[in-house]
Structure 1
Amino acid sequence: MNTIREPSPEEVRRWRQYLADERAEGQVYRDLASRRDGEEREILLGLAEAEKRHESHWLELLGDHVGRPASPSMRNRLLGLLARRFGSVFVLAMAQNAEARNPYTDEEDATAEMAADEAIHEEVLRGLAARSRAQMSGNFRAAVFGANDGLVSNLALVMGMAATGVGTSVVIAAGVAGLLAGAMSMGAGEYISVRSARELLAASHPSEQARAAVPQLDIEENELYLVYRSRGMDPLEAVARAQRVMHAVKKSPELALPPGAMPDAPADVDPDEVVGNGWHAAISSFCFFASGAVIPLIPFFFGLTGLAALAVAAVLVGMALMTTGAIAGVLSGSPALLRGLRQLAIGYGAAAVTYLLGLLFGAAGIG
């Protein structure tokens, strides 16, 4: 007769924690699903059902030792709060990172299927997050780049000018000039970049003249199949498709072109989704550059001077760089802390080099 082994206190504690986290993760997916519809909603509810299976596993192991509900981990509590309030791509990206930390890989009390489920859940969330990342990539890229450029360039400018020994009023004037010039440059550059990308995409679409010419083509001798081949279609498939289209056109010349008469792929993409809107990107870039560039000037505006002002500026900019780096890290699925530290190292490195150059110029009497 088989007997059920009495779990140790450590096992009970660990299993109850797993149970609490599975319940919390399932609720996160249900909260995210409540803010979506269609396919995304179904996918998220499917993930919630999978967490139910994992929850049942720990309930079965615990038996009479379930006790009072344990508190989920701090990460899952934060995810739950954000999912209830926002449900944005940030929450999806954070959930993806959470699933990447698979707790069942080395857990002997979890089944191999549960460990595999967690790995698949990460991929599902990666796919969902990728959709939202694509939709926000243009404007978000402009915003992040603008803020970082403003932080780094104006901190370097202010520190370099201060190191030459010029007065505080000159440092402020240089900083404000750098803010305005940089923001205008970033906004104009981003607008030109996005407009150029949209024009390149538009140039890949089939022309209206070509569409209008199709009904006039000879049914036997025409180059319509070459159009399909130029879009990457197999030669035999291209010939067969051209024949089908031409027969349909000649049979009903009064009707519009049949679907697929002129290929849209791979050029049929939404420019707003792929590269963003030119004015939106320009305004985002201008505003975020300016918001970043004003931070190094804050201590000077409040009357600080000399090394004290530079130290406060460096701390403020460092905090902002860590924040923007962490946000970019979360959205890209990278460790937030490492991305923040990388941003900090780059910003401080640029500022340090400029400060040393300012000291050299000041010592040489150039400042």
Structure 2
Amino acid sequence: MSPSREGPTQSSQAPPSSRDIRLWRRYLADERAEAAIYRDLARRRDGEERAILLELAEAEGRHEQHWRDLLGEHADRPTRPSFRRSLLRTMARWFGSVFVMALAQRAEGRSPYSSEPAATNAMAADELIHEEVIRGLATRGRARLSGNFRAAVFGANDGLVSNLALIMGIGATGVSSGFILFSGIAGLLAGALSMGAGEYVSVRSQRELLSATKPTQITLTAAPDLDLKANELVLVYRARGMTLEAAEHRAAERMGYLDCDCDPSLSLHPGVEEVEYQEIGTGWNAALSSFLFFSSGALVPILPYIFGLQGLPAILVSLVLVGLALLVTGGIVGLLSGASPFKRAMRQLGIGFGAALATYLLGLLFGTGVA
């Protein structure tokens, strides 16, 4: 078993070096910033989420005190926190959104305390737990925006990739810039209408499917007239996933038998009727988001042609604009999913340019036969 790190103290350790002082002051500034971030986020929330964030701020305050104790007289010299935490605090103060939660989750996951001799084991463990707490809070936010956000992201990405591939393929055949622009506008309108209609049907169908699956409250009205010893109410709860014992207890509760000899803890069994379905958005909101974001994405590749560029310069400018947009959408997806924004951005870029290259090569192939 490895020895516990209780953290050095000024009485038991040699005076800190100038390097230690600089590092500890940075840790102190970061802890102050993180506590402020959680307090700023808490001001925009209420109920349980607010209480959790304030407790996280209190925990960061304990870490701050640890570095104050180590620094002694050096603790009061001002030091700026890291750029990442300064940016995060600004965003928390002005936005307080799920984006900030996702960034905070990644910040907690990068804590250096596991390999920092001056930090205690408890501090390192706290940071690991904080990451999971923020992950849980961020998950709530992701669930709230998942439906419309999915439609928006996929709409924008599809618009970027499909229209870039379209104009690249058509442009490779050697047609005029006017024809390319017309084709791009037609692709924008057709794709946006198709995406909007598809999202509406998809979300409506999903909601109807979940609605058909969600348990009803018929058990509450029928229960008083059933015979406890020979009733099908137990079968209802067993069909919903409960064990036989838990189903019998729930049936007794529904029928008003308060003197049953079942284990009271079974009342806490999470039957299917307590399960809340993840928010998937509404049909109209998803359709509108998809239509608007597809249109905005599909507009980017044809902007050079709208402003009069032709030939190779138009293609190069279009590639640059679409590449930047793909990097942004990929980074946002990575950020909200808690993954590396850089990796997700590069993946989006590779997929988009791969599709454009494929259609361009096909255009060259078919363009050889154009008179």
TM-score normalised per structure 1? 0.91
Task: Give, in whole Å, the separation in 2 of the partners of 1:267 and 1:129.
Answer: 25
Task: Give, in whole Å, the separation in 2 of the partners of 1:187 and 1:225.
Answer: 44
Task: Give, in whole Å, the separation in 1 of the partners of 2:12 and 2:130.
Answer: 35
Q: Does 1:322 align with 2:327?
A: yes
Task: Give, in whole Å, the separation in 2 of the partners of 1:4 and 1:147.
Answer: 58
**Aligned counterpart, 1:252:** none
Q: Which residue type is aligned with residue 332 of structure 2?
A: I
Task: Give, in whole Å, the separation in 1 of the partners of 2:245 and 2:19.
Answer: 67
Task: Give, in whole Å, the separation in 2 of the partners of 1:50 and 1:156.
Answer: 51
Q: Deviations over 1:99-136 (max 9, x none)?
A: 11011121111111111111111000000000110111
**Aligned counterpart, 1:341:** 346
TM-fit CA distance, 1:169: 1.3
Identity, in percent, stands at: 60
Q: Deviations over 1:239-264 (max 9, x none)?
A: 34324433569xxxxxxxxxxxxx99
**1:106/1:4 CA distance change after superposition, 3 Å:** closer
Instruction: Indicate which of 138, 142, 147 corresponds to 1:129.
Output: 138
**Aligned counterpart, 1:266:** 272
**Aligned counterpart, 1:259:** none
Task: Give, in whole Å, the separation in 2 of the partners of 1:18 and 1:264.
Answer: 43
Task: Give, in whole Å, the separation in 2 of the partners of 1:159 and 1:332.
Answer: 31
**1:69/1:170 CA distance change after superposition, 3 Å:** same
Q: How does 1:245-284 map to 2 (within 5 A)?
A: 245-247=254-256, 265-266=271-272, 273-284=278-289
Q: How does 1:236-251 map to 2 (within 5 A)?
A: 236-247=245-256
TM-fit CA distance, 1:202: 1.0
Q: Which residue type is aligned with residue 162 of structure 1?
A: G
TM-fit CA distance, 1:8: 1.2
Task: Give, in whole Å, the separation in 2 of the partners of 1:244 and 1:54.
Answer: 48
**1:202/1:8 CA distance change after superposition, 3 Å:** same
**1:294/1:190 CA distance change after superposition, 3 Å:** same
DSSP 3-state at the match of 1:69: coil
**1:29/1:264 CA distance change after superposition, 3 Å:** closer
TM-fit CA distance, 1:60: 1.0
Stretches of structure 2 that go unaligned for 5 or more consecutive residues are: 1-10, 259-268
User: Number of residue pairs matched?
Assistant: 353
**Aligned counterpart, 1:82:** 91
Whether the aligned pair in 2 keeps the contact of 1:142 and 1:285 (CA below 8 Å) is yes
Task: Give, in whole Å, the separation in 1 of the partners of 2:86 and 2:217.
Answer: 55
Task: Give, in whole Å, the separation in 2 of the partners of 1:305 and 1:16.
Answer: 56
DSSP 3-state at the match of 1:66: helix
**1:109/1:209 CA distance change after superposition, 3 Å:** closer
Task: Give, in whole Å, the separation in 2 of the partners of 1:248 and 1:334.
Answer: 51
Task: Give, in whole Å, the separation in 2 of the partners of 1:120 and 1:55.
Answer: 17
**Aligned counterpart, 1:305:** 310
Q: Which residue type is aligned with residue 35 of structure 1?
A: R
**Aligned counterpart, 1:159:** 168
**Aligned counterpart, 1:296:** 301
TM-score normalised per structure 2? 0.90
**1:238/1:171 CA distance change after superposition, 3 Å:** same
Whether the aligned pair in 2 keeps the contact of 1:160 and 1:355 (CA below 8 Å) is yes
**Aligned counterpart, 1:53:** 62
Whether the aligned pair in 2 keeps the contact of 1:219 and 1:247 (CA below 8 Å) is no
Q: Which residue type is aligned with residue 61 of structure 2?
A: K
TM-fit CA distance, 1:212: 5.0
Tell me how large the CA RMSD over aligned residues is: 2.2
**Aligned counterpart, 2:364:** 359
Instruction: Indicate which of 77, 86, 91 corresponds to 2:100.
Output: 91
**Aligned counterpart, 2:80:** 71
Whether the aligned pair in 1 keeps the contact of 2:242 and 2:271 (CA below 8 Å) is no
TM-fit CA distance, 1:276: 1.1
Instruction: Indicate which of 145, 168, 183 corresponds to 2:192.
Output: 183
TM-fit CA distance, 1:209: 6.5
Q: Which residue type is aligned with residue 322 of structure 2?
A: V
**Aligned counterpart, 2:201:** 192
Q: Which residue type is aligned with residue 325 of structure 2?
A: A
TM-fit CA distance, 1:233: 1.3
Q: Does 1:227 align with 2:232?
A: no
DSSP 3-state at the match of 2:242: coil
Whether the aligned pair in 2 keeps the contact of 1:231 and 1:265 (CA below 8 Å) is yes
Q: Which residue type is aligned with residue 353 of structure 1?
A: A
TM-fit CA distance, 1:315: 0.4
Whether the aligned pair in 2 keeps the contact of 1:204 and 1:267 (CA below 8 Å) is no
